[in-house]
Amino acid sequence: MHKFFGATLALITILVSCKQDKVLVDELVKVETIEKPPVTHFGFNLEEFNVVHDTVRRGDSFGELMLRNKVDYPKIATISENFRDTFDVRKIKVGKPYTILKSKDTSEVAEIFIYQNDKINYTVVDLRDSVTAYKSKKKVKLREREVGGVITNNLSETLDNLGVDYNVTIDLSEIYAWTIDFFRLEKGDKFKVIYDERYINDSIYAGRGPIKAALFEHKGRTIYAFPYVTDSLKNILDYYDQEANNLRSTFLRAPIKFGYRLSSRYNLKRRIAYYGYKVRPHKGTDYAAPIGTPIIATADGTVTESTRRGGNGKYVKIKHNSVYSTQYLHMKSQKVKRGDFVRQGDVIGWVGMTGNTGGPHVCYRFWKNGRQVDPLREKLPTAEPIADSLRTQYMAHIEPIKDQLDCIEFVNPNPEPEETLISYNQ
């Protein structure tokens, strides 16, 4: 009887074991039969082609690249003549990457040409059957980033030490261009900024997005900046502070963009050694910059002079309204002529050394009611604040963003070494 039960138990054990083994085998079979997804790029299954990755080299042209890859001349001509709005073959640049997808047969004729305009945008030229061309974009993932810092030398260097894209420096300087003189930042000034970083395939950095909010502490004054669209029909976006005031002024603080040196200020009592220390008033504000640096109009207006005269060298003068005019001296060359209407930020010429000058710079002169004044001391007119009808909505919109900014900590990327107390045994 015991032998019977023992044999039965052994049989059951074997059956269970066999069943488990079968389950394991089935699972292994399932694993082995799972098909790998096709390798796709630019919307194409690369396994269906012979793939060539390369970059445009000096002397390359679209026509030569296609002929080299066995594309008939009529197709090349069709792309060159009929698709200029989508892909102008004359404008391919040396160093730009491209991909050619060739047929897998023995002919290896190029069927697809993909030109990468930048990290995100690319152009596809489909050479199969009827030729066509279209533009597309890689999928981009946005990651929000928060940064807070203490300025130890200048804004650009501080952000660089924090691993922030240089373009964020430019964006901040443009947002605060009317309220903060970036040529006169002080050690210990602080900032916070929230913005998006773009990534392709979660790993390839593809640039920054627009600034979503910022804060600057300068000379004890805290200035917030929040983007807000006040006219949805015209899609007009400006940056406003915590009290709904527009950060934009009628005039920019400087005639060149952030990154250059204020070399000489407006000074009616200036004395120069070369002239025997006699008083020679300086009625301009000098910004030193390399030759060829773009000079921009500090406000909208009409060009009244674009000429060359005496010690001023080549210069441009702009009338903004019945009260204000500005003048830009010592240019290498001018981009505008008399009668042109220019917008704030438009390039009107380039830094040079024409006229009486000891080095490359732009002498910026500011006229008020026909008299030259110091623009850095003028209380310049500001743009309109948010309308009363939108104020409540705006304040509610910025409340959570302001809280987010306030929670960001300031980081000093180059802290000064702390003093160490050394004790000596007596």
More confident residue, 2 or 52: 52
> What is the dihedral sign for C-alpha 371, 374, 377, 382?
positive
More confident residue, 198 or 273: 198
Asked whether the predicted pLDDT for residue 340 surpasses 70, the reply is yes
| Interacting residues of 295 by C-beta distance below 8 A, sequence separation 6+ | 255, 256, 316, 328, 331, 347, 348, 349, 350, 351, 362
More confident residue, 121 or 184: 121
CA gap 306, 303 in Å, rounded: 7
Domains by residue range for the chain, with CATH: 40-137 (3.10.450.350), 140-249+383-415 (3.10.450.350), 261-373 (2.70.70.10)
Beta bridge partners of 224: 215
pLDDT tens across 352-409, in order? 999 988 889 999 999 998 899 998 888 777 777 888 889 999 999 999 999 999 999 9
Pairing status of strand 97-102 against strand 50-55: antiparallel
E strand or H helix at 239: strand 236-240
| Interacting residues of 355 by C-beta distance below 8 A, sequence separation 6+ | 308, 310, 311, 312, 313, 314, 315, 329, 330
Q: What is the mean pLDDT of residues 93-119?
A: 93
E strand or H helix at 169: helix 166-175
Q: Which of 8-12, 32-36, 166-170, 191-195 has the lowest mean pLDDT?
A: 8-12
Q: What is the chain's mean pLDDT, rounded? A: 84
Q: Which of 88-102, 254-268, 361-375 has the lowest mean pLDDT?
A: 254-268
Of 88, 111, 89, nearest in space to 100 by CA: 111
- Please report the pLDDT score of residue 420 as a whole number: 44
CA gap 18, 34 in Å, rounded: 24
pLDDT tens across 179-228, in order? 787 777 888 999 999 999 999 988 889 999 999 999 999 888 899 999 99
Q: Which of 5-14, 181-190, 332-341, 380-389 has the lowest mean pLDDT?
A: 5-14
pTM of the model: 0.61
CA gap 241, 244 in Å, rounded: 5
Asked whether the predicted pLDDT for residue 23 surpasses 90, the reply is no
- Is residue 21 very low, low, confident or very high in pLDDT (cuts 50, 70, 90)? low
More confident residue, 94 or 380: 94
Give percent of the chain above pLDDT 90: 54
Given its phi and psi angles, is residue 259 left (phi above 0), alpha (psi -120 to 50 degrees) or beta? left
| Interacting residues of 92 by C-beta distance below 8 A, sequence separation 6+ | 56, 60, 61, 62, 115
Asked whether the predicted pLDDT for residue 335 surpasses 70, the reply is yes
- Please report the pLDDT score of residue 149 as a whole number: 94
Pairing status of strand 361-368 against strand 371-373: antiparallel
Q: Which of 246-250, 265-269, 288-292: highest mean pLDDT?
A: 288-292
Give percent of the chain above pLDDT 70: 84
- Is residue 331 very low, low, confident or very high in pLDDT (cuts 50, 70, 90)? very high
- Please report the pLDDT score of residue 265 as a whole number: 78
Asked whether the predicted pLDDT for residue 294 surpasses 80, the reply is yes
pLDDT tens across 240-255, in order? 999 998 888 778 888 9
Token pair listed for 12: 């059951």
Q: What is the mean pLDDT of residues 304-310?
A: 95
Asked whether the predicted pLDDT for residue 15 surpasses 50, the reply is no
- Please report the pLDDT score of residue 385 as a whole number: 82
More confident residue, 4 or 58: 58
Token pair listed for 213: 């909010």
Token pair listed for 45: 């299954």
- Please report the pLDDT score of residue 100 as a whole number: 96
Q: For residues 80 and 63, is the Cβ–Cβ distance under 8 A? A: yes
Q: What is the mean pLDDT of residues 326-346?
A: 93
- Please report the pLDDT score of residue 300 as a whole number: 84
- What amino acid occupies position 371? R
- Please report the pLDDT score of residue 70 as a whole number: 92
CA gap 286, 161 in Å, rounded: 29
Asked whether the predicted pLDDT for residue 307 surpasses 50, the reply is yes
CA gap 283, 311 in Å, rounded: 13
Token pair listed for 207: 């640039």
Per this entry, what is the length of the chain?
426
CA gap 35, 57 in Å, rounded: 39
pLDDT tens across 149-187, in order? 999 888 889 999 999 999 999 899 888 877 787 777 888
pLDDT tens across 46-61, in order? 999 999 999 999 999 9
